[in-house]
Structure 1
Amino acid sequence: MRPGPLRFAGRGSPLSARQKQTKWIRVDRERVFGITSCVYQALAVLVLRSVHAQHVPQTCTRVHASRRMRTARRAPSCFETHRSALSLWTHRFRAAMLLSMRTKIQRGCGMRARDSRCKRACLVARTALAVCFGATVAGVAAARAEPTFPSKPIHISVPYGAGGVADLTMRLLAQKLTERTKQQVVIENRPGAGGLLSAKAVLEAPADGYTLGVIGNGQAIGMSLFKARPYNVLSDFTLVSMTASFEMLLAVKADSALKTLQDVVAAARKNPKQLNFGAINPGSTQNLSAHLLKQVSGVDVTIIPYKTTPDLVTAVLRGDVDVGFDFYAGLQAVISDNQVRIVATSGEARNPLLRDVPTAKESGFPDYVVTSWNGLASAAGMPADTLAILNQHINAALSDAKLQATASALGMDARGSTPEEMRARMAADVKKWAAVIDKAGIEKQ
C-alpha cells in the first residue's frame, strides 16, 4: 500500500511542493543552528568555569554582617560577570543566522540549492567548532603544564655518615637548591648496610622528584660486589644528574725514599711481596683503586684493609704501609702539616690544589684512572617534565661560583650532567669495577 500525501497537522489538504520545501528547510535550519549555538554556548561556559575555578570572589570582611549583607556586597565572580554577556551573544548569534536564512528562503531557492547551502553551513559550523575546541583544549593543557615543581620540601637520602665527602657535597648543593627553588631541601643520613638502607628509602618513595638519593660509583661497584642485591642501579632508578667527582691520592710518609709513582713500581718489581699498599674497607673505591694499580702495573704487593681513614693515616705515618690510597678530604690535614707526600693522583688532569703532583697517566700508567663520583637519583618512573626541571635546578646550583670554590677547597670538582651522561658513566663503571673485582679474586659479600 502506497503512503498517502504529507499533511499539515490539523488540516486535511495535502502539502504542495513549495510547502514541503519550506517546512523541511525550516526544520533543517533550526536543527543546524540550534545545535551549533548550543555547542558554542557549552564550550564558552566550560572556558568560563575553568577561569572561575581559579577566581576568588571578593566578600565583605565585616565579621558581624548578616548573611544577606554579605551576599549583597559580594563582588560578582568572573563567571557571573560574563554569563549574561554570553547569553546575549548566543541569542544574537542565533537570531542573526535565522534571519539570514529566512531572507534567503523568502527569495526562493531550489531544493538542490538549499541542500548545498545547508551542507556548507554545517561544514562552516563544524570547522569553527573544531578550531574553538582545539584552542580551548590547548589553552587548558598549556595552563596545566606550567612548571609548578617543586611545591614542597625535597628530601635527599645520603648513604654515608655526616661529615664525609658525599655528605659535604650534598649539604653545599642543598643550600643552593633551597635558594633557587624557595623550598627546603633536607639532608637525611642513612649509613650502613652498604647503602641499602638509603636505597630502600628512595625506592619505596613515589617517583615524583621529592625524594632523592645519593648514588655513584659505590653503587656501580656494589653491582658486582654483592651476591644478592635488591635493586639494579641501571633499571630501578631515575638517574637525575652527577654532582661531584674526586680523584684518588697516593700518599707516602714525608721522609720516604719513594718520591714518585715510578719509584713505587720499581721498588715493588725489585722486591716482590715486600711493599704494602693500604686502603679502607675491601670493596671500597679506595681499596679497588689499589687493586687496579697492582693489576695495570703488574706488581706483586700486599694490600692491607683498614676500617677508617684515620686508621690508614696512622699506618702510613708509622711506616706500616708504604703507600696509602685515599681522597683529598681524608688526607688534607696531614698534607697541610707536611707529614705525608703525594706521589701521584689518579684523575684525568692534575688536582688544582696539588699543581706540582703529576697524574698516574703522566707518570707512565695511562690505564690507571680512578675518579670517584656522586650523583642524585630517584625511583624509576619520574615524569619527564619533573626530571627536566630538577636537572636544570641542580646544574644551575652546581654552577654557582661560591659553591665551586668551597667544593674545590675540599678536593672536589662540583659539576652537573645530563641524565644520559650520568647513565653512561654508571654503566661504564659497573663494567670497569666488575672486571677489577673478578681479577682481584675479591669474595662477593
Structure 2
Amino acid sequence: MHMPMKAGTRQLFAAAVIAIVGLGAPASAQDAKDYPNRPVQLVIGYGAGTIGDVSMRIVAQKLTDQLGKPFVVENRPGAAGVIAAKAATMAAPDGYTLLLTGNSYAINTTWFKSVPYNVLKDFAPISTVASFDFLVVTRKGSPFKSMKDVIAYAKANPGKLNIATLSPGTTQNLAVELLKVVSGVKVTAVPFRSSPEAANALLRGDVDIDMDSYAPLRGLLDGGKIDVIATTGRQRVPFLKDVPTVAESGVPNFDVSSWNGIAAPAGVPKPIIDKLSAAISKALEAPDVQATGARLGMQMHGSTPDQLQARMKGDIAKWSNLIETAHIPKHD
C-alpha cells in the first residue's frame, strides 16, 4: 500500500537526493583538484635513449615540477609497444598510469592481424608531445644530389637502388613503401635493427640511401660524412630550411612524419585529462624544452585530446590504405 509523504518528509527526501547527486557530480572535479597526490607512472614501450623515451623524460620532469608529484618513466620495450599498451589497459583509470602513444600505435593497428587492445577505444587521448620528420641522406661524394636524381636512377634501374630503413613495420620502413607506391619506382628497402647499423651500411656503400630521424644522424651530419637531400614531411623542417621536402622534389603525394603523445586508460575522468593536457602544453612551451627538442630534431608541441584522437584516426587510415595498396601481408 502506497503511503503519501508529508510535506516535511518530502523536503527532507529531496534534500537528501540533491546531496547524494551533488556528492557524485563533482567527484571527478574534486579528483582533478587534488590530482596528483602520489607518483604518476608513464609507461613507454621503447628502450632508454630512443626518441620517444627522451621526449617523455623531458615532459615528465616538467610535469613533476608543475604538479608537485613525481612523474616516473617506466620503460617496457618489446613487441613494437604492444607490451606497454597492454599493461596500460589493465591499469586503473585514475590518471596514475599514463602511456606513450604515437604513430607506431597507428601502424600496429594496421600492420598486425590483431593486437590486444583498441587504440581508439581503450585509451583516452591527452596531448601530443613531439613530432619529427625523417631525413633522406646519402654519403658524402654520392652521385645522388637530390630526390630527382634518386627517382631518375630508380626508374632507369628498377630494384637496384637500396634504401636503408629500420625494421619492417616501422615508420621509416613504410616510408620507403609509400615512396614506391606514389612514385611508381622499384627500390629495395634494406631493414636494419638499429639506426647506427643503417648509417654504417650507408658509409660502407652497402646501401645508397638512408632514411631516418635527425637525432641518430646528427653526428655524421656535423662531421661532414653524409649529406641531406630531402626531408619527408609536408613542410621544410626549421633546422634545415635550405633542404627541400620529398614532395617539393618531384613526389607530390609523399608526406611522412612521426609523432608521439600521451594517453591514459579509457575512463579517466575528463577533468583529470584536461588538467594533464593543459599542463603538458605549458611544459612544452618552455624555452629549454623547445631548445632541447630542436637539438634532437623534434618539434615539441601540445594539443587538445580531440586533436590527438583525430591525428591517430588519420594515421590509421593512411597506413591501412598503404598496406592494402602495396599488398603488404599483415603479421601475427
**TM norm structure 1:** 0.68
**In the alignment, is the contact (CA less than 8 A) between 2:28 and 2:270 conserved in 1?**
no
Q: Aligned-pair distance for 1:440?
A: 2.8
Identity of aligned residues (%): 44
Partner of 1:438: 324
Relative distance call for 1:139 and 1:186 in structure 2 (3 A) is closer
1:136–1:430 distance in 2 versus 1, CA, 3 Å: closer
Deviation per residue, 1:419-443 (Å, 9 max, x gap): 1111111111111111222233333
Aligned to 2:70: 184
Which of 241, 246, 250 is the matching residue for 2:136? Answer: 250
Query: Aligned pair 1:296/2:192, yes or no?
Result: no
CA separation of 1:172/1:270 partners in 2, compared to 1, >3 Å: closer, same or farther? same
Matched, 1:221 2:107: yes
What residue number does 2:56 align with? 170
Q: CA RMSD in A?
A: 2.4
What does residue 232 of structure 2 align with? 346
Match of 1:14 in 2: none
Q: Please tell me whether residue 400 in structure 1 is matched to residue 314 in structure 2.
A: no
1:318-358 deviation per Cα after TM superposition (whole angstroms, max 9, x unaligned): 11111111000111111111111011001122122212111
1:367 aligns with 2:253: yes
Q: Is the 8 A contact 2:40 2:97 kept in 1?
A: yes
* 1:126-183 per-position Cα deviation (integer Å, ceiling 9, x unaligned): 7xx989x979986997698441111111110111100010000001000100000000
The aligned counterpart of 1:100 is none
Residue 381 to residue 192, structure 1, CA distance change in 2 (3 Å): same
Q: Which protein is bigger by CA-based radius of gyration?
A: 1
Q: Whose helix fraction is larger, Structure 1's or Structure 2's?
A: 1
Does residue 418 of the first structure (1) align with residue 304 of the second (2)? yes
Query: Structure 1 residues 145 and 432 mapped into 2: Cα distance closer, same or farther (>3 Å)?
Result: closer
User: How many Å separate the matches in 2 of 1:429 and 1:417?
Assistant: 16
Q: Which protein has the bigger strand share?
A: 2
Alpha-carbon spacing, 1:143–1:287, altered in 2? closer, same or farther (3 Å): closer
User: Deviation per CA, 1:331-390, whole angstroms, max 9, x where unpaired?
Assistant: 111111111101100112212221211112222322111110001111111111111111
Of 201, 206, 210, 1:320 maps to 206
**SS of equivalent residue, structure 2 residue 252:** coil
Separation of aligned partners in 2, 1:272 and 1:234: 39
Structure 2 unmatched runs, 5+ = 1-5
- Give the alignment partner of residue 201 of structure 1, picking from 87, 106, 111: 87
Q: Residue type of the partner of 1:229?
A: V
Q: What letter matches 2:273 in structure 1? A: L
Conserved 8 A contact 2:28-2:269: no
Match of 2:116 in 1: 230
Q: Could you tell me which residue of structure 1 aligns to residue 3 of structure 2?
A: none
Q: Distance in 1 between matches of 2:264 and 2:213?
A: 27
Matches within 5 A, 1:125-140: none
C-alpha displacement of 1:240: 1.1
Paired positions, count: 324
Q: 1:130 to 1:441 in 2, by over 3 A?
A: closer
Letter in 2 for 1:295: V
Tell me, yes or no, if structure 1 residue 158 matches structure 2 residue 41. Answer: no
**Is the CA contact (8 Å cut-off) linking 2:28 and 2:271 kept in structure 1?**
no
Residues 142-157 of structure 1 mapped to structure 2, 5 A cutoff: 145-146=29-30, 147-157=33-43
SS class of match (1:416): coil
Gaps of 5+ in 1: 1-31, 40-125
Instruction: Name the CA distance, whole Å, in 2 between partners of 1:273 and 1:340.
Output: 23
Look up the match of 2:159.
273
What does the per-residue CA deviation read over 1:221-270, in whole Å, with 9 as the maximum and x for residues that have no partner? 11111122111111111111111100011011111011011111111112
Larger mean CA deviation between 221-230 and 168-177 belongs to 221-230
How has the CA–CA distance of structure 1 residues 324 and 158 changed in structure 2, closer, same or farther, with 3 Å as cutoff?
same
Q: TM-score, normalised by structure 2?
A: 0.91
Letter in 2 for 1:318: R
**SS of the residue aligned with 2:282?**
helix
